[in-house]
Amino acid sequence: MSCEYVQERISPLLDQRLAPGERETVLAHIESCRTCSAHYESMQSLRAALRGVTAPPIPADLRQKLRVVASHEHARRVSRLTLEARLDHWTGRMRLVFDNIMRPFGLPAASGLVSAVLLFALLAPSLSFARRGGADDPSGVATDAQLTAVNAAGDGPEIEDPDSFETNYEAVLELKITPDGKVWNWSVMQGSLTSELKNMILFSRFQPATYFGRPTWGRVTIYYRHSFTYIVRG
Amino acid sequence: MATSIFLDLSGDRPAENTADSEDFRLVEALRGGDEQAYEELLTRFQQPVYALALRLLDDPAGASDVVQEVFLKVFRSIARFRGQSTLKTWIYRITVNEAHNARRWFFRHRRREVDLDSKPDDTRDWKENIPDESRTPFDQAFGSEQRLMVEAALEKINPIFREAVVLRDISDLSYEEIAEILGVSLGTVKSRILRGREALREKLAGSLEPRPALRLVPQNGRVML
């Protein structure tokens, strides 16, 4: 039995992996051979040294990370156990995705709306709307000032269809009417202010413009043509 | 030339390599989503898996990554565990495979990386901080030194042989378990362990002498080694 053969079997011998007969033979050779005996002893020392190597301590942060991994995987497993759990899981996911998409828009949109309402509420009282052209106001919340009589006798004006208006008027007046139905001011837009027109302004009666049923300021445009034709535009 | 017959004669390890009732109970609890089972699995295996990964890689950061990856795979594929091996063997096999992958990746990518987190005070290797339970300062010094030498020698030998030696002598697994973990035959396991130990013996030549005894000689009061 050669030393090389024995030395190859020292490792399995130490691990008790040799058959009993072979084990006795190898041990006998080791007893009688100084080289193989030294080899055996150094292999024994090596094995003892390896077995004496202590386990390195697991880092605290790794311990923590593993707990996080376990927690995630547990939640994942539980969410897939039943159909109901799966549905809950997917509903939650969809809600989260929707939330994540909408959250960046939600705050700016809400604050923009609130700002617009507040701004309007602040500005609305200071806004005044002069009423003109009530005929094209379909809501009926505003009415124009109207000329109801053109002289002391109470004769009404002649109203023409606006589409058939002619342009050869002798004068065009614009009157500003108070909420009381009186003429507050006038301006001559075309022609000249004759005495006849002065009389007309003096004796005419007006129905004031209204806004939400309350009288308000209004304007009346009068197109004057000889033969006492008054064409009135509100 | 006589033929070697491999027998498990140690008697301190179970001959069977299949999952026992305890493994099945834990696996069933994991499949059922029992939170305690996740905790129990970590408690049982995180330390040995980390130790094995560290011995195979010799890189604490890499070992930490491997351990996380191992447990992630264990948790996700526990449903596929059929009990044809023990839970320990199964987890160790995953660890060895992950360590192989990490080593390959390391040699491709991370060799040239510089760890910016390391401070001058942190340059000591973890091996220098291993708690030592020796009784005397002499024992402590001798034991620590020998362990450091063994660890250093382990790093220098072929990784293929190293993993066989680590699994056998440090993780204390049987030849059959090692064969299953590495996916090789018993003969290959025997050969790798033999060659690994021989390589280590050569690296540690002269430093594996029997430990000297500390003796007090009362006549002259001198301490002799």
Is A193 touching B (CB cutoff 8 A)? no
Q: DSSP class of residue A159?
A: P
The H-or-E segment that residue A142 falls in is strand A142-143
Strands (E), chain B: 215-216, 223-224
Residues facing residue A173 across a β-bridge: A188, A222
Question: Chains A and B: how many Cβ contacts under 8 Å?
Answer: 138
Find chain A residues with C-beta within 8 A of B212's C-beta: none
Which residues are within 8 A (CB) of B31 and not within 5 positions of it... i.e. 6 or more apart? A77, B78, B79
Residue A59: name the closest of B119, B133, B129, B106 by CA.
B129
Mean pLDDT for all residues in chain A? 82
- In this model, does residue B125 exceed pLDDT 70? no
Q: What is the pLDDT of residues A191-232, one digit of tens each?
A: 888 887 888 888 888 888 888 888 899 888 887 776 555 555
Angle at B37 between CA B34 and CA B39, to 5 degrees: 120
Q: What is this model's ipTM?
A: 0.71
Calculate helix-pair angle for A20-32, A3-14, nearest 10 degrees: 120
Q: Are A70 and B38 within 8 A, CB to CB?
A: yes
Average pLDDT over residues B79-108: 89
3 state DSSP class of A52: coil
Is B70 in contact with B41 (CB distance < 8 Å)?
Answer: no
Is A153 touching B (CB cutoff 8 A)? no
Is B179 in contact with B185 (CB distance < 8 Å)?
Answer: yes
Q: Are B51 and A56 within 8 A, CB to CB?
A: yes
Angle at B131 between CA B125 and CA B134, to 5 degrees: 125
Residues facing residue B216 across a β-bridge: B223
Q: Are A49 and B168 within 8 A, CB to CB?
A: no
pLDDT band at B6 (very low <50, low <70, confident <90, very high): very low
Q: What is the pLDDT of residues A47-105, one digit of tens each?
A: 888 888 888 889 999 999 999 999 999 988 888 888 888 888 899 889 999 988 888 88
* Residue B18: predicted pLDDT: 67
Residue A169: name the closest of A231, A214, A102 by CA.
A231
Question: How far, in Å, CA of B128 to CA of B119, rounded?
Answer: 16
Q: Are B38 and A46 within 8 A, CB to CB?
A: no
Residue A179: name the closest of A231, A128, A120, A103 by CA.
A128
Q: What is the pLDDT of residues A16-38, one digit of tens each?
A: 888 888 899 999 999 999 999 99
Q: What is the pTM of this model?
A: 0.59
Is B73 in contact with B40 (CB distance < 8 Å)?
Answer: no
